[in-house]
Amino acid sequence: MAGRGIAVVTLAYDLVYRRSIKDPEGFWGEAAESVVWEKRWDRVFDASRPPHYLWFPGAVLNTCYNCLDLHIERGHGDRTALIYDSPVTRTVQKFSYNVLRDLVARCAGGLKELGVGKGDSVVIYMPMIPEAVISMLACARIGAVHSVVFGGFAPRELAARIRDAEPKVVLTASCGIEVNRLISYKPILDEALAIAGIPVHACVYVQRPQHEVALDHGRDMEWSAMMRNAPPAPCVPVCSTDPLYILYTSGTTGIPKGVVRDHGGHLVALKWTMPSLYGVAPGEVFWAASDVGWVVGHSYIVYGPLACGCTTILYEGKSVGTPDPGAFWRVVSQHGVKVLFTAPTALRAIKREDPRGSFLKKYDLSCLRTLFLAGERCDPDTLHWAGERLSIPVIDHWWQTETGWAIGANPVGISLLPVKPGSCTKPMPGYDVRVLDDRGIELPPGTTGNIVVRLPLPPGCFTTLWRKEDEYVRSYLSAYPGFYLTGDAGYMDEDGYLWIMGRTDDIINTAGHRLSTGAMEEVLASHPDVAECAVTGVADTVKGEIPMGFVVLKAGVRRKHGEVVQELIRMVRDRIGPIASFKVAVVVKRLPKTRSGKILRGVMKKMADGEKYQVPATIEDPAVLDELTEELAGIGYPAN
């Protein structure tokens, strides 16, 4: 019976997936019926100008209307739309759909009073406060293009984004609040505007009581003043193919790339994913523990949940330290979260500080149905740890800033497929995923290669780069004509499960053998004393490259580091083989990461090789690099 049940579950997925690939127009045309359109499309899909494809050309709609006004018109105005939970300010605030719509309409009116119109860009440089969500939706309401920049970005990084987006207005706040410090935004923004050297009509500041700032006469104004004097603005109809937002991602040249998302395809895809991928229904509480400055925040703090009529949570805090490793479980219990979406890094931080799950046991988590992970590949040990303590499905899924939603996942709303720890399960409907070698030849199951997606990409994915259409083609679509290059390496197994082993530059060449650092990380993470780990290739005079492990031990581990390292070396040798040449590892206090939780493997490699490196603007804490320099020196690196 068990085997038959698995077959039935898999069949449900297979039927949906095959239809999405064989009949994408029928599939996505049907999904689009859940969206309210001012004017229906001329056709679902336009392939007349490859590789520049369009979804729902000719259609007219308003994203903000579909996220707010529609639910009010259908009698759900009193339903909670947004919960702002801020342990750093000890604040919990709830906004109904009625209240949120009214605030958004007034903000939209304020933007119009400042000269912002359809097609103009607005930079939003804010912490995790309700005004950030209000600003995004207000831009969508009047057809302006928003570009959210992660709060606290350094002046030069902010300047690069302002220079490229050329906003009429910058919406910001007086400060951001970290666990132990305040970040004043005004000096950062002032310097960024001076570096960018372009005129901005106005900078609007939310004055936070924790740190108010003196404003410059003329250009600067207070958010409260803008809102107080603004007439509410109605929704402005826009074309389905018009840009909704720009979201910058780091470019290989050091110049940020502005990923552009359209209105129509984006709304159709995200609204479809809420019940189909995440298995949530209108009125349920969905929490993406991310930041509005990242793609997860755009898709699943703001647009996806609100389009579905859910309650979404905006959390201004950390997984540990605000105040303890039970922070996430408190939010889940207090607000009745049905589905939690976070990064494996956050979960590993909780596991490191509370390996036995003592803080988890303090809360009633019976409301929580599913835990989704994305941002970094989740090691099986962390997945098992969470699954055993929560007794719910823990699902790793894989996606990118460019795609806006999952490429590979376990779509619980269609059918919960058997979980294979270490795999992101199967390609999501709409994504025709292939694995190619460097010559563009498709590889057999089980063979690691370059993961690509056959064009066209499904709705919701980026349509171009902001004012860089040639670079869009060159960076993503030229390596393998007819395919989108994900930049990730991995393989498909015999069952069609997708295994992401890391970025293509995380595949190292040791004495002519291509080795996956992700596979080695999986082994290291399974050690009972290891909380977090990373593996990167470092230069070797004999073999070209050899792997080096970086491990963080769990809280309370008192063993000698040398003993742990020798055990790790033996484990890799036993499970992967001598071919891995894994002979070097270092125990570190913490790993260098971006604010979104990605481990900075490239920086670690350069440090071990003694090469020059730039401190990334997105790094969570630059002090970790000084610590790492000392720890590497302790084992004789860099060797030269």
Which DSSP string do the residues of 373-397 spell out, in sequence order? E-SSPPPHHHHHHHHHHH-S-EEE-
Q: Please report, to the nearest 10 degrees, the dihedral formed by the alpha carbons of residues 464, 466, 468, 469 taken in order.
A: 30
- pLDDT tens-digit readout, 383-442: 999 999 999 999 999 999 999 999 999 999 999 999 999 999 999 999 999 999 989 999
Q: How many domains does the chain have?
A: 1
Scan for tokens 């490259």, then name that residue. Answer: 545
Does the residue 570 lie in any domain? Answer: yes
**Residue 72 φ/ψ, nearest 5 degrees:** -65, -45
User: 134 vs 252, which has greater pLDDT?
Assistant: 134
> Cα 336–337–342 angle (5° rounding)?
155
Residues contacting residue 623 through CB under 8 Å, at least 6 positions apart: none
Does the residue 523 lie in any domain? Answer: yes
Q: Is 550 helix (H, G, I), strand (E, B) or coil?
A: strand
- pLDDT tens-digit readout, 212-223: 999 998 899 999
Does the residue 222 lie in any domain? Answer: no
The CATH number linked to 549 is 3.30.300.30
Q: Is 275 helix (H, G, I), strand (E, B) or coil?
A: helix
Q: Identify the pLDDT of residue 514.
A: 59
Arithmetic mean of pLDDT over the chain: 92
Token reading at 597: 């939780």
Question: CA distances (Å), 532 to each of 372, 535, 555, 589, in order?
Answer: 19, 11, 11, 10
The most confident of the ranges 18-32, 142-156, 586-600, 615-629 is 18-32
Question: CA distances (Å), 248 to each of 172, 260, 403, 467, in order?
Answer: 17, 9, 13, 12
Q: Domain range holding 542? A: 511-633
Does the residue 553 lie in any domain? Answer: yes
> Which residue type sits at 261?
R
Q: Identify the pLDDT of residue 229.
A: 86
Does the residue 578 lie in any domain? Answer: yes
What's the rounded mean pLDDT across residues 495-517? 74
Q: At what angle do helices 24-31 and 2-22 cross, to 10 degrees?
A: 100
Does the residue 584 lie in any domain? Answer: yes
Cα(196)–Cα(174) distance, integer angstroms: 20
Q: Identify the pLDDT of residue 254.
A: 52
**Residue 625 φ/ψ, nearest 5 degrees:** -70, -35
Scan for tokens 């197994």, then name that residue. Answer: 493
Strand segments, DSSP code E, in 128-242 are: 145-150, 169-173, 175-177, 182-184, 202-206, 220-222, 238-239
Does the residue 157 lie in any domain? Answer: no
Given a cut of 90, whether residue 81 has pLDDT beyond it is yes
Does the residue 524 lie in any domain? Answer: yes
Q: What is the pTM of this model?
A: 0.85
